[in-house]
Amino acid sequence: MSNVLLGTCIGDALGMPFETLLPNNPQLINWDGVSFLPSIHHKLKAGMYTDDGQLSIIVAESLISNSGFNPDDLAQRYLAWMKSGNARGFGKTTLLAMQNLESGKHWTSSGVVGSYGNGTAMRAAPFGVYFRNDLRALVSIVKTDSAITHVSEDAEAGAIAIALAAAYAVNQDTDDLLEKICEQLPNSKVKNTIYSLGSLINSDCITAEQSLRVLGTRANVRETVPAALYCFLKFDNYIDAVRTIIRSGQDCDTNAAITGALFAAKDGIKNIPKHLIDQIENRDCLFKLDSQLYNRTSYSFFPRSI
């Protein structure tokens, strides 16, 4: 069974203490690679996750509650999260989009034009699990969800890529994954980079660490999505992939959250150390939501407001 939310949140919590650090930072170098640590930056305790996990949970809860995709409901859930005082970090684009919603703009015009931040991709994997048997609907739904906050071909392509990867992963259909994904992406820098990943993955002359330096691991969808897909396809297990992308620095929590989501969509809890499962916050809730997300029948409907 898929454990996409658990995989997301564990990856997020592992990367959380190191967000924005460079690979040569002593704190990152000295990390043992398998332990949760607290974060001074986020003021979070060890085993707590950030906005990556929170937004992924919001997507799952909306899909489950509505028996499918309801963008009116989802936009209001995003806004309620932002206003709750418990949002654990968010990008400027997401903040501006929420301010647009709060000012009365409809979700169809709340998104920020030209942004290629990570906000769309970090929450996309649950869509892939829920709509794994209707990929045409999945692409349309993720495109619509992305537009609530980010309006650009790259933000859209990044979210679609991760949602599709999660769908193929949970269906155990990852052969020729990059080609399958690229066939369904809008023309964009994200698509071009994903298309070229095969040469890095198959090269014996360049290490994973070197490849990630080439791809970049900064907080934008043009780097995060290709980097996460690279680690998903380069490594054969959750912890090696997540640990490697975290050690590459920069947007450690989001990069690890997305990488972890893909592995847990495919393998469930396989290769996730038991102590991390036991120590992640809200563990039982995550298991319950993952079960509901996986087992609910997916209805690919849109409300009339679209």
On whether the CB atoms of residues 88 and 54 are closer than 8 A, the answer is: yes
| Nearest-angstrom CA–CA distance, 306 and 283 | 35
Cβ burial, residue 253 (10 Å; 0-12/13-18/19+): buried
**Nearest Cα to 117, choosing from 277, 265, 266, 224?**
224
- In one-letter notation, the amino acid at residue 275 is H
Domain map of the chain by residue range?
4-295
| Nearest-angstrom CA–CA distance, 150 and 117 | 8
Supply the pLDDT for residue 304: 39
260-277: b or e for each residue (b if 16 or more CB lie within 10 Å)? bbbbbbbbbbebbeeebe
How does DSSP assign 212-231, residue by residue? HHHH--SSSHHHHHHHHHHH
On whether the CB atoms of residues 227 and 216 are closer than 8 A, the answer is: yes
In terms of pTM, does the model score above 0.75?
A: yes
Supply the pLDDT for residue 41: 76
170-187: b or e for each residue (b if 16 or more CB lie within 10 Å)? bbeeeeebbebbbebbee
Tens digit of pLDDT per residue, the chain (306 long)? 899 999 999 999 999 999 999 999 999 999 999 999 999 777 899 999 999 999 999 999 999 999 999 999 999 999 999 999 999 999 999 999 999 999 999 999 999 999 999 999 999 999 999 999 999 999 999 999 999 999 999 999 999 999 999 999 999 999 999 999 999 999 999 999 999 999 999 999 999 999 999 999 999 999 999 999 999 999 999 999 999 999 999 999 999 999 999 999 999 999 999 999 999 999 999 999 999 999 985 555 554 344
Supply the pLDDT for residue 296: 82
Q: What pairing do the DSSP bridges indicate for beta strands 150-151 and 112-113?
A: parallel
**Residues present in the chain in total:** 306
- In one-letter notation, the amino acid at residue 169 is A
Supply the pLDDT for residue 42: 76
Give the angle subtended at the CA of 185 by the CAs of 183 and 186, to the nearest 5°. Answer: 125
Range list of β-strands (E), 230-300: none
- In one-letter notation, the amino acid at residue 228 is A
Tell me which fold the domain 4-295 belongs to.
ADP-ribosylglycohydrolase fold (1.10.4080)
